[in-house]
A and B are shown apart, each in its own frame.
Chain A
Amino acid sequence: MNVVVCIKQVPGSTEVRIDPKTHSLIRESVEAIINPFDENAIEAGLQLRDQQGGKVTVMTMGPPQAESALRQAIAMGADEAVLITDPAFRLSDTLATSYTLARAIHKVGDFDLVICGKQAIDGDTAQVGPGVAEQLGIPQATFVIGLEVNGRKILAKRMLEDSFEVVELRMPALITVVKQMNEPRTAPMKGVLRARRAAITAWNKDDLGANPSRIGFDGSPTWVIKSFHPERRKRGEMLEGTTEEVAAVLAEKIKSLNLG
């Protein structure tokens, strides 16, 4: 069973702080990591390969330095890695990103399952997984917490707001996974050594045969026109007194919110 895992390199912290005096951003040098949900996606791919045979190809679209994320994935056990990088991909929104990844998966060719994390912790959109599935014309199951393979079919258990749903899909298919799906393995020393030497395939827009009007800025219908910081919450009122007193004040405060 051949699996393609799509990953994204993200800043290690989503905390973006602002200087209260100058109102400018304090940019702390945060380490770039593999998006946490994507680590679960890699782990899910590796487990399937270990049970079923086949190989795991991990891919990312990003600047050249995203290569380090791919090396981490190889260290965990991925067989092959593809870096999709080209200045022409810059400013891609989720639609252009989905198109580009789908082109790359198409080029990999022989795949049974595509696995993505449910969303990236920087953009928080959760749109690329389904977008890729649509561009590939294959069925999808999002927010997957459990997976079973049965011949050419997979049974995916999806985590919804207040219930779970088990869906049956025919492969090739795409799933996006939640954190509770598994516990990503730590890279073994052997893997770390292998990752250092591993060759990483790099594909640009020409390698993908990408339509120039569907990639990067030109392929992105949505434009970010402004970024700003939300008003920071202020430290509120500290209630003091005996437990009884505090509980009574709090109960009144809650009542006055008119939540009914």
Chain B
Amino acid sequence: MLIRIIAEKCTGCQLCLRPCPYGGVEMVGKVAVLNENCTYCGACVPACKSDAIEVVERQPGASEAARYRGVWVIAEHDNGMLKGGTVELLGEGRKLAEELQVPLEGVILGDGIKPLAEEMVHYGADKVYMADHPVLSRYRTGPYTDIICGLTNKKLPEIILVSATAQGRDLAPRVAARLGAGLTADCTGLEIDPEKRLLVQTRPAFGGNLMATILCPEARPQMSTVRPNVMKKAQLDPSRKGEIEVIPVGLDERGVATKILEVIRQEEGDEVNLLDAKVIVSGGRGLGKPENFSVIRELAKVLGAGVGASRATVDAGWIPAYHQVGQTGKTVQPKLYIACGISGAVQHLAGMSAAETIIAINKDPNAPIFDVATYGIVGDLFEVVPALTEKLKELLA
């Protein structure tokens, strides 16, 4: 989409200035003009009462795009299990594939992964491309990019979905740059425009303060990384049948530029994987001292939850940085987020306000966290949180 202001039609009424989020329209004399801030988002178009703002649609090069068919899901796995995000992508990919009436195909790379390839079929893939080789045992940018790009160029899928995890966000931009493909980061909504057969992608920007809808009209494949925990998981059906195509891997360890020297797993692995967590219990400055995170951890344990933290606690050295939720930490979207002793600075809210349900416990009735909370409790977290932990132990037992 391109936008143009037709100077002859402009009446100088200035109605188009206010709706612009970017300060992209300004008055030059008595005529509105688009300046360098304009992103062509189109917010100004409906405001014009004299049809002076014209939308110019760029026509996609249809012939090239039509050669591409099918929806792909790139699998992520760890410890012999498919990651939750991958199962969600298979659910979402199925929906898209059905609307387009094309096959849903999985791509999995690793070492000894036949059972996982079969599991992808059980989760809905019509076919799975499997590259099974010791060199691929752990994700590395180089070989994964090489194999996926090679396969894409051969099979020409129209859509490739990747989880917006550390791995997916390392891999997808590299693949997209090599293929010259369009890539949209961290999508929270995917749909098909049935007329144009285009993937309509919705994603948050500005820390979730603005949503953008993005299309990739010409280049193929259309690639998205998808935020974990947002899409519905596919149902497992062990009776489903599908084809597994083995991709020959001609790699040699000596040919891979990067070496993984060490992997340091956190002992408290479940507690820190915030991106996959359905529930997160977070602590803030209200905890007073580092030892008091035990109150948070006990509640988290009962709920099988991840442990989050505000920036203040991380900066104070109370808890390691990978727990940090917010603009300079992690952006999370769990089903339930429990904020304990967190006032709710804008930067923190940017990282968690997309959670489905938010519970806030804070002493200060004016804390901004209550503005986004589904349930708020004004009170002493050292009383409320342990009492809640006990109640939940009884209820969930």
* A residues lining the B interface (CB < 8 Å): 11, 13-16, 22, 24-25, 27, 36-37, 63, 87, 90-91, 93-95, 98, 121-131, 133-135, 139-143, 145, 155, 158-170, 178-180, 217, 220-230, 233, 235-240, 243-244, 246-248, 250-255, 257, 259
B186 contacts which chain A residues (CB < 8 A)? 124-125
B164 vs chain A, min Cβ distance (A):
9
A230 contacts which chain B residues (CB < 8 A)? 204, 208-211, 354
B285, CB-defined interface residue at 8 Å: no
**Do residues A130 and B395 form an inter-chain contact, with CB atoms below 8 A?**
no
**Do residues B396 and A255 form an inter-chain contact, with CB atoms below 8 A?**
yes
Interface size on B, residues (CB 8 A): 110
**Do residues A223 and B208 form an inter-chain contact, with CB atoms below 8 A?**
no
A15 vs chain B, min Cβ distance (A):
5
A253 contacts which chain B residues (CB < 8 A)? 359, 375
* B residues lining the A interface (CB < 8 Å): 1-2, 18-21, 23, 36-37, 39-43, 58, 140-142, 145, 165-167, 169-170, 172-174, 176-178, 180-186, 204-219, 257-266, 269-270, 272-276, 278-279, 303, 314, 321-322, 327-329, 331, 335-336, 346, 350, 353-354, 357-359, 370-380, 383-384, 387-388, 390-392, 394-396
**Residue of A with least CB distance to B389:** A247
**Do residues B36 and A250 form an inter-chain contact, with CB atoms below 8 A?**
no
Bound-state Cα–Cα, A153 to B105, Å: 38
Bound-state Cα–Cα, A124 to B347, Å: 13
Chief secondary structure at chain B's binding surface: mixed
**Do residues B261 and A243 form an inter-chain contact, with CB atoms below 8 A?**
no
**Quick one: which of A121, A122, A129, A227 contacts B41, CB cutoff 8 A?**
A227
A244 contacts which chain B residues (CB < 8 A)? 387
Total A-B Cβ pairs within 8 A: 288
B180 contacts which chain A residues (CB < 8 A)? 95, 221
**Do residues B261 and A168 form an inter-chain contact, with CB atoms below 8 A?**
yes
**Do residues A165 and B260 form an inter-chain contact, with CB atoms below 8 A?**
yes
Given contacts A140-B141, A217-B2, contact A233 B353 (CB under 8 A): yes
**Quick one: which of B185, B211, B270, B346 contacts A227, CB cutoff 8 A?**
B211
Q: List 12 A-B contacts (CB under 8 A).
A: A15-B206, A36-B328, A131-B173, A134-B174, A159-B166, A223-B1, A223-B216, A225-B215, A227-B43, A239-B376, A251-B392, A254-B336
**Do residues A237 and B376 form an inter-chain contact, with CB atoms below 8 A?**
yes
**Do residues B303 and A259 form an inter-chain contact, with CB atoms below 8 A?**
yes
A88 vs chain B, min Cβ distance (A):
11
**Do residues A224 and B387 form an inter-chain contact, with CB atoms below 8 A?**
no
**Quick one: which of B37, B185, B375 contacts A124, CB cutoff 8 A?**
B185
**Residue of A with least CB distance to B35:** A63
